[in-house]
């Protein structure tokens, strides 16, 4: 009884302070009764046990605590006695008008402009540990305008599916007439990043990746926006008919890159604010994820902005693929529902991604995309029958609990939402907002409850009531007021009703330039100031949300080397640092100065304390050596001679006194190396002598080889004659026997010119004749 009664009468007390006269006497009497019954006592009274010595500290203890600001309350007592539950303060003699007890307010906006999501704006006052509740209603329309954008993978394997698109327009338009009063189509194509190892960079294949298949393909591309959303179905079919296929090397494609651009490039695509936005992604392969780009040396994170120039994605080769979290955020922010139309075994890969990408559906297309139209119709019906919400722009220290109350009476978490919702149904969401403690920065902020796929939201302005409206008790008492919102110039309030006045603060005040988007496209304009979006992969900040801590290059694992801030994708270096990554100390240029005080000898630039020579002929630590760079000597030779006047004619000496007198010191500094350069004549003679000696050495070696070869040949001939002589002597000893001879006619003489025989032949003949003589003797 005590707890419930205390809660009832505490609420009644709040009404005493704010309501018009009427039931006040009854409520005051009720408070007296409560005090008499002693219902205000509590065994675990944290208001008194914490010894809070100020009103602010007292209110932070809990929603049941109040502070007595009455000047003569407990005179001479401890200040901490002023903090207690309301019933105890009244029993101690504190008047109700002197009790600080901020109440919780939930004030819907009067000027309701939303048609599907109500209320569109809510103003809530919270104090520590207090809760506030309100009901959010969502009523789907019967027939939405529909924008359907085809984003097609045009790699070679999708050739048959692209042909099917030629006949999609009219048939799909007729079927969608049952669900939409206004239907438009658009078209875009993608392949992959146009760098190795994703495509072939061979000169013969760079412009035609399909040359191995004898097909005429268009050059590969990251993403091309072909046709903006249009009601002209014939124009859509012509655009599809003109589309050629392309190709790449690796299996995954650059689909997520193209999806993000199609989502954020609102003006290029032609997305309408009032339309249901559908992005149909046709593919037969998986998509690259964030960090895959590092294979190609691309390390700059995707900034999530539109980079279409002449309808071509121009940052494809310089920024990474987006992460799933980043892609999901951009799809939700731009109210995009995605339909994955996948052919082949990769369908399950996309199906597994659905929990990570709210508002997406995956369908499997048949061969040649025969069921594409039916797939789109079924997916659209499923999308409009699901109602889910999520909280964006979470407020520090404030927590939301959302419960969906479905048309069939079931209750589900808000993130799960309700299914099978028709246009005649209304889905309710019970939203509970609680603040644990006051943020150290205080002030006002807001959160957004966004139904997935809807173009309307509910903005919740939260006021942290962490301080007291009255004096702390030591001094003059000032009047306590409960009109806490009157101090916010951007709100207009009257008798518990407030609404946000946007007319006083146009969005132009939140643009860094008139051509730039509001808050750089990364925040919202509230009261003439940018409130930056909260993203999962870093912090967005700055007057126009132009800065972040994640999209600039890193050095040794630190953004901008830890020596600068990231602004619009570029490092803005702190004082004393320079370089594209702020990795170089500004004083590092001193390490590039030579003895003459010149930076890199005037032939290079200083990068992080090291000279990078710009003249290809320059070498050395300071680019000081350059044999081909003596232009100063040749241009100023007439005056350079004056530095060494020996053996000069009188005419030249006179010219030195007139033309070069004023420039003598300058020439001494600039051309001092002219006379220290090496003698070209000496170099010529050295080269000539070395060349001559090398040639002479070669001749001697060749002569020695020839002589050695001839000597070996003569020696072999002599050895042969000796061995032949020994052999003939052995024969002579074996043939000396008596032999019978027969008479015969005298043989015919053979005439031979012995002078024409060589030594060997002469020797053989002599040997033969001696043998014949020996036979006759025998």
Which of 97-101, 626-630, 639-643 reaches the highest mean pLDDT? 97-101
Question: Which pLDDT band, with edges at 50, 70 and 90, does 748 fall under?
Answer: low
What is residue 736's predicted lDDT score, i.e. its pLDDT?
Answer: 46
The yes-or-no verdict on residue 145 having pLDDT over 50 is yes
Question: Which pLDDT band, with edges at 50, 70 and 90, does 53 fall under?
Answer: confident
Task: For helices 324-333 and 255-264, give the axis angle rounded to 10 degrees.
Answer: 30
Pairing of strands 558-559, 554-555: antiparallel
The yes-or-no verdict on residue 261 having pLDDT over 90 is yes
**Looking at 112-126, 234-248, 474-488, 501-515, which range is the least confident one?**
474-488
Cβ(325)–Cβ(536) below 8 Å = yes
What is residue 759's predicted lDDT score, i.e. its pLDDT?
Answer: 60
Which segments of 86-120 are extended strands (E)? 99-100, 105-108, 117-118
d(CA 182, CA 520): 31
The yes-or-no verdict on residue 33 having pLDDT over 50 is no
Pairing of strands 121-126, 105-108: antiparallel
Task: For helices 680-734 and 759-777, give the axis angle rounded to 10 degrees.
Answer: 10
The yes-or-no verdict on residue 112 having pLDDT over 80 is no
**Strand, coil or helix: 403:** strand
497 or 398: whose pLDDT is higher? Answer: 398
What is residue 151's predicted lDDT score, i.e. its pLDDT?
Answer: 95
The yes-or-no verdict on residue 38 having pLDDT over 70 is no
**Strand, coil or helix: 337:** strand
Cβ(78)–Cβ(486) below 8 Å = no
> For the residues of 276-326, what is the DSSP string, one character each?
EEEEEEEESS-B--TTGGGGGT--SPP-----EETTEETTTTTSPPPPHHH
Task: For helices 24-37 and 2-18, give the axis angle rounded to 10 degrees.
Answer: 150
What is residue 318's predicted lDDT score, i.e. its pLDDT?
Answer: 92
What is residue 40's predicted lDDT score, i.e. its pLDDT?
Answer: 41
Task: Average the pLDDT over 667-683 and give the result.
Answer: 57
Identify the residue whose tokens are 């969906």: 404
d(CA 592, CA 605): 8
Cβ(122)–Cβ(157) below 8 Å = no
> Is pTM beyond 0.75 here?
no
Question: Which pLDDT band, with edges at 50, 70 and 90, does 300 fall under?
Answer: very high
Q: What are phi and psi of 146, to 5 degrees?
A: -125, 130
Which DSSP state fits 670?
Answer: H
What homologous superfamily is domain 507-550 in, according to CATH?
Answer: Laminin (2.10.25.10)
CA angle 113, 118, 120 (to 5 degrees): 55
pLDDT per position as a tens digit, 19-32: 434 444 444 444 43
Cβ(328)–Cβ(311) below 8 Å = no
pLDDT per position as a tens digit, 307-334: 999 999 999 999 999 999 999 999 988 9
What is residue 590's predicted lDDT score, i.e. its pLDDT?
Answer: 75
**Looking at 151-155, 468-472, 575-579, 607-611, which range is the least confident one?**
468-472
d(CA 519, CA 500): 19
646 or 467: whose pLDDT is higher? Answer: 467
What is residue 213's predicted lDDT score, i.e. its pLDDT?
Answer: 62
**Looking at 178-187, 355-364, 518-527, which range is the least confident one?**
518-527
Cβ(30)–Cβ(65) below 8 Å = no
Question: Which pLDDT band, with edges at 50, 70 and 90, does 199 fall under?
Answer: confident
d(CA 92, CA 85): 11
Task: Average the pLDDT over 585-592 and give the result.
Answer: 75
Mean pLDDT of the chain: 76
Beta bridge partners of 84: 66
d(CA 363, CA 339): 7
Task: Average the pLDDT over 705-727 and give the result.
Answer: 69
Q: How many residues does the chain have?
A: 778
Spatial CA neighbour of 335 closest among 144, 507, 501: 144
The yes-or-no verdict on residue 480 having pLDDT over 50 is no
The yes-or-no verdict on residue 3 having pLDDT over 50 is no
Beta bridge partners of 524: 531
Cβ-based neighbours of 38, under 8 Å, separated by 6 or more: none
3 state SS for 48-94: HHCCCCCHHHHHCCCCCEEEECCCCCCCCCCHHHHEEEHHHHHHCCC
Using CB atoms within 10 Å of the CB of residue 188, give its burial: 0 to 12 exposed, 13 to 18 middle, 19+ buried.
Answer: buried
Question: In angstroms, what is the C-alpha Rg of the chain?
Answer: 49
166 or 254: whose pLDDT is higher? Answer: 254
Cβ(95)–Cβ(70) below 8 Å = yes
The secondary element (H helix, E strand) that includes residue 273 is none
Task: Average the pLDDT over 432-451 and give the result.
Answer: 75
CB atoms within 10 A of CB 578: 21
**Torsional sign, CA 545, 551, 557, 560:** negative
Using CB atoms within 10 Å of the CB of residue 705, give its burial: 0 to 12 exposed, 13 to 18 middle, 19+ buried.
Answer: exposed
Cβ(316)–Cβ(256) below 8 Å = no
User: Would you say the CATH fold of 587-639 matches that of 507-550?
Assistant: yes
Which DSSP state fits 455?
Answer: S
pLDDT per position as a tens digit, 527-552: 778 878 767 667 788 888 888 777 78
What is residue 29's predicted lDDT score, i.e. its pLDDT?
Answer: 42
Cβ(448)–Cβ(394) below 8 Å = no
What is residue 481's predicted lDDT score, i.e. its pLDDT?
Answer: 30
d(CA 238, CA 509): 43
What is residue 105's predicted lDDT score, i.e. its pLDDT?
Answer: 83
State yes or no: cis peptide before 428, omega within 30 of 0.
Answer: no
The yes-or-no verdict on residue 419 having pLDDT over 60 is yes
Task: Average the pLDDT over 729-756 and give the result.
Answer: 50
Question: Which pLDDT band, with edges at 50, 70 and 90, does 269 fall under?
Answer: very high
The yes-or-no verdict on residue 572 having pLDDT over 90 is no
Q: Which region, left, alpha or beta, applies to residue 268 given φ > 0 means left and ψ of -120 to 50 means alpha?
A: alpha
Percent of the chain past pLDDT 90, that is, above it, reads 19
Which DSSP state fits 593?
Answer: B
What homologous superfamily is domain 146-385 in, according to CATH?
Answer: von Willebrand factor, type A domain (3.40.50.410)
d(CA 588, CA 174): 70
Task: Average the pLDDT over 224-234 and give the result.
Answer: 93
Q: Which region, left, alpha or beta, applies to residue 573 given φ > 0 means left and ψ of -120 to 50 means alpha?
A: beta
Identify the residue whose tokens are 């002219």: 674
What class is the 46-100 domain?
Answer: alpha beta
**Strand, coil or helix: 534:** coil
What is residue 244's predicted lDDT score, i.e. its pLDDT?
Answer: 86
**Residue 363 is encoded by which pair of tokens?**
């369908």
Percent of the chain past pLDDT 70, that is, above it, reads 72
Identify the residue whose tokens are 């007592």: 77
What is residue 633's predicted lDDT score, i.e. its pLDDT?
Answer: 58
Using CB atoms within 10 Å of the CB of residue 329, give its burial: 0 to 12 exposed, 13 to 18 middle, 19+ buried.
Answer: buried
CATH topology of domain 105-140+388-464: Immunoglobulin-like (2.60.40)
CA angle 430, 436, 442 (to 5 degrees): 110
What is residue 625's predicted lDDT score, i.e. its pLDDT?
Answer: 81
Identify the residue whose tokens are 């004096």: 471
Cβ(140)–Cβ(476) below 8 Å = no
Which DSSP state fits 334?
Answer: T
The yes-or-no verdict on residue 76 having pLDDT over 70 is no
CB atoms within 10 A of CB 501: 14
pLDDT per position as a tens digit, 753-770: 555 555 656 666 666 666
**Residue 303 is encoded by which pair of tokens?**
């900034």
The yes-or-no verdict on residue 175 having pLDDT over 60 is yes
CA angle 283, 285, 286 (to 5 degrees): 110
Task: Average the pLDDT over 200-222 and give the result.
Answer: 76
Question: Which pLDDT band, with edges at 50, 70 and 90, does 341 fall under?
Answer: very high
d(CA 22, CA 41): 29
What is residue 322's predicted lDDT score, i.e. its pLDDT?
Answer: 94
Cβ(256)–Cβ(281) below 8 Å = no
What is residue 542's predicted lDDT score, i.e. its pLDDT?
Answer: 84
What is residue 196's predicted lDDT score, i.e. its pLDDT?
Answer: 87
Task: For helices 233-242 and 168-176, give the axis angle rounded to 10 degrees.
Answer: 150
What is residue 482's predicted lDDT score, i.e. its pLDDT?
Answer: 31
d(CA 152, CA 307): 19
Cβ(240)–Cβ(165) below 8 Å = yes
Domain 587-639 listed as CATH 2.60.40.730 = no
d(CA 544, CA 418): 37
Query: What is the maximum alpha-carbon separation in the chain?
Result: 185
Residue ranges of domains in the chain:
46-100, 105-140+388-464, 146-385, 507-550, 587-639
């Amino acid at each position: 009884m005590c707890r419930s009664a205390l809660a009832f009468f505490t609420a009644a007390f709040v009404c005493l302070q704010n309501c018009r006269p009427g039931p006040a006497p009854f409520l005051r009497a009720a408070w007296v009764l409560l005090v008499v019954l002693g219902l205000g006592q509590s065994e675990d009274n944290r208001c008194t046990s914490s010894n809070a010595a100020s009103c602010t500290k007292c209110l932070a203890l809990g929603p049941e605590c109040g502070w007595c600001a009455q000047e003569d309350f407990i005179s001479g007592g401890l200040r901490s006695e002023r903090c207690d539950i309301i019933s105890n303060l009244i029993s101690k003699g504190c008047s109700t008008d002197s009790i600080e007890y901020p109440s919780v307010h939930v004030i819907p906006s009067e000027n309701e402009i939303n048609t599907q999501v109500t209320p569109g704006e809510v103003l809530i006052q919270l104090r520590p540990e207090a809760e506030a509740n309100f009901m959010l209603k969502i009523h789907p329309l019967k027939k939405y305008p529909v924008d359907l954008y085809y984003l097609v993978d045009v790699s070679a394997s999708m050739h048959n599916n692209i042909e099917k698109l030629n006949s999609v327009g009219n048939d799909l338009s007729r079927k969608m007439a049952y669900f939409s009063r206004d239907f438009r189509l658009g078209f875009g194509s993608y392949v992959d990043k146009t760098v190795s190892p994703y495509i072939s960079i061979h000169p013969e294949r760079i412009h035609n990746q399909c040359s191995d298949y004898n097909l005429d393909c268009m050059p590969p591309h990251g993403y091309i926006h072909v046709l903006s959303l249009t009601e002209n179905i014939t124009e859509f079919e012509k655009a599809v008919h003109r589309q050629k296929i392309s190709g790449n090397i690796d299996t995954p494609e650059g689909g997520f890159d193209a999806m993000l651009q199609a989502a954020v490039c609102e003006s290029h695509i032609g997305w309408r604010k009032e339309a249901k936005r559908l992005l149909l992604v046709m593919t037969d392969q998986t998509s690259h994820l964030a960090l895959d780009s590092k294979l190609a040396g691309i390390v700059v994170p995707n900034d999530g902005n539109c980079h279409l120039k002449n309808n071509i994605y121009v940052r494809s080769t310089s920024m990474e693929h987006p992460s799933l979290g980043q892609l999901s955020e951009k799809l939700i922010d731009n109210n995009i529902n995605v339909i994955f139309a996948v052919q082949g075994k990769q369908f399950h890969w996309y199906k597994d991604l659905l929990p990570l990408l709210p508002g997406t559906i995956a369908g499997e297309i048949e061969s040649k995309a025969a069921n594409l139209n039916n797939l789109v119709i079924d997916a659209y019906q499923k999308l409009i029958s699901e109602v889910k919400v999520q909280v964006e722009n979470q407020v520090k220290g404030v927590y939301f609990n959302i419960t969906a109350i479905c048309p069939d009476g079931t209750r589900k978490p808000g993130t799960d939402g309700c299914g099978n919702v028709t246009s005649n149904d209304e889905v309710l969401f019970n939203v509970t907002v609680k603040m644990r403690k006051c943020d150290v920065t205080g002030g006002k902020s807001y959160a957004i409850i966004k139904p997935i796929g809807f173009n309307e939201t509910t903005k919740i302005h939260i006021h942290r009531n962490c301080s007291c409206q009255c004096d702390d008790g030591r001094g003059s008492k000032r009047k306590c007021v409960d009109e806490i919102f009157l101090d916010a110039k951007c709100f207009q309030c009257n008798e518990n009703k407030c609404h946000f006045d946007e007319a006083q603060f146009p969005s132009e005040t939140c643009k860094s330039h008139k051509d730039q988007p509001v808050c750089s496209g990364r925040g919202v304009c509230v009261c003439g100031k940018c409130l930056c979006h909260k993203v999962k992969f870093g912090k967005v900040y700055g007057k126009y949300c132009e800065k972040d801590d994640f999209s600039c290059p890193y050095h040794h694992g630190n953004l901008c080397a830890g020596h600068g801030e990231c602004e619009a994708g570029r490092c803005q270096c702190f004082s004393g640092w320079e370089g594209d990554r702020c990795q170089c100390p500004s004083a590092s240029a001193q390490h590039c100065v030579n003895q003459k005080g010149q930076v890199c000898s005037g032939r290079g630039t200083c990068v992080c304390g090291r000279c990078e020579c710009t003249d290809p002929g320059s070498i050395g630590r300071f680019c000081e050596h350059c044999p081909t760079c003596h232009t100063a000597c040749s241009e100023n030779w007439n005056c350079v001679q004056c530095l060494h006047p020996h053996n000069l004619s009188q005419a030249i000496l006179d010219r030195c006194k007139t033309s070069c007198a004023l420039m003598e010191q300058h020439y001494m500094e600039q051309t001092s190396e002219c006379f220290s350069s090496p003698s070209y004549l000496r170099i010529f003679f050295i080269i000539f002598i070395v060349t001559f000696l090398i040639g002479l050495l070669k001749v001697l070696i060749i002569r020695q080889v020839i002589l050695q070869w001839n000597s070996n040949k003569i020696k072999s001939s002599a050895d042969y004659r000796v061995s032949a002589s020994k052999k003939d002597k052995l024969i002579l000893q074996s043939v000396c026997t008596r032999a019978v001879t027969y008479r015969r006619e005298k043989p015919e003489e053979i005439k031979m010119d012995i002078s024409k025989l060589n030594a060997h032949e002469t020797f053989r003949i002599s040997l033969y004749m001696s043998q014949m003589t020996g036979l006759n003797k025998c």
